[in-house]
Amino acid sequence: MASPTDMLAAWEIGLALPASSLQRTVLLHALARPGQEAAELLGVPVGTRDAELLDLRIALFGEVLSVRIDCPECGAELEFDVDATGLAAPAPRTEPEPLTEGDWTVRFRLVTSADLLAVRDGAAGDRRRELAARLVLDARRGGRAVRGDRLPERIVHLLAEAVATADPAADISFALECPDCAARMRTPLDAATYLWDELDSWARTTLADVHALASSYGWTEPDVLALSPLRRRYYLELAGHG
């Protein structure tokens, strides 16, 4: 698991990145796989990445997620806790079953962070087709090879559905019912956003602890970070900061 030093370093870098950005997501994923090269991280399927981010969040901050959303039907503000342990789907297969439709057969791979980075600046329609082209390993119509960027719109649409089916963990969500209007909804969970918000809160609290203990005892940041949470809290109380 990531050390407090690694967590603070990631937080410091992440502050300079746009909120909810893909770069910040990849940065957080590096905490889940310490020591792994960036190229390897970028090549991990999105569902696997998000499941690992959720596992990291559980390891660092516990199993309970505090969720706050507005009901899309009546606008009521809903606050509730969710058990994060059962949200992520099982890891996807390395290579999914080919898409077959009529005389078409398309072998494809799953979406990775590298793919999303590559298409992020295009228009919505262009991104969809460009992403499809990147995912195609081999496309044939009636036995004749077809380039991934020459697929008809119908096959591009079916390919998008096949990719989503093959990697269900890429769309983590949970069902709930509004207590005010009884509307049923399915709410997506952005594992990176939840993890970042809690990392941000933890980092600011930790730096405040470092400041208080450094002022009281002359300790360095590594000295404070080396303390267990229980011992740190005890020293803060002794120094009058509890």
**Between 60 and 20, residue with greater pLDDT:** 60
How does pLDDT run across 17-45, given as a tens digit for each residue? Answer: 998 889 999 999 999 999 899 899 999 99
* pLDDT at site 186: 85
**Between 114 and 67, residue with greater pLDDT:** 114
Q: Which of 48, 127, 134 is nearest to 92 (CA)?
A: 48
Determine phi and psi for 167, rounding to 5 degrees.
Answer: -130, 70
The stretch 182-203 carries a mean pLDDT of 91
How does pLDDT run across 169-179, given as a tens digit for each residue? Answer: 888 888 888 88
In our burial notation (b when 16+ CB lie closer than 10 A, e otherwise), range 193-207 reads ebbbebbeebbeebe
In this predicted structure, the answer to whether residue 242 has a pLDDT above a threshold of 70 is no
Q: Which of 164, 205, 200 is nearest to 19 (CA)?
A: 200
Who contacts 109 (Cβ-Cβ below 8 Å, separation ≥6)? Answer: 95, 96, 135, 137
Q: What is the largest CA-CA distance in the chain?
A: 77
In this predicted structure, the answer to whether residue 165 has a pLDDT above a threshold of 80 is yes
Who contacts 115 (Cβ-Cβ below 8 Å, separation ≥6)? Answer: 131, 134, 135
Distance of alpha carbon 51 from alpha carbon 191, whole angstroms = 8
Distance of alpha carbon 220 from alpha carbon 127, whole angstroms = 48
In this predicted structure, the answer to whether residue 9 has a pLDDT above a threshold of 90 is yes
At 82, is the pLDDT very low, low, confident or very high (cuts 50, 70, 90)? confident
- Three-state SS at 17: coil
How does pLDDT run across 92-133, given as a tens digit for each residue? Answer: 766 799 999 999 999 999 999 999 999 988 776 688 899 999
Q: Which of 79, 57, 11, 27 is nearest to 194 (CA)?
A: 57
Distance of alpha carbon 158 from alpha carbon 128, whole angstroms = 12
DSSP per position, 71-132: -TTT--EEEEEEEGGGTSPPPPPSSPPPEEETTEEEEE---BHHHHHHHTTS-HHHHHHHHH
Sequence spans of domains, the chain: 4-90+172-225, 99-166
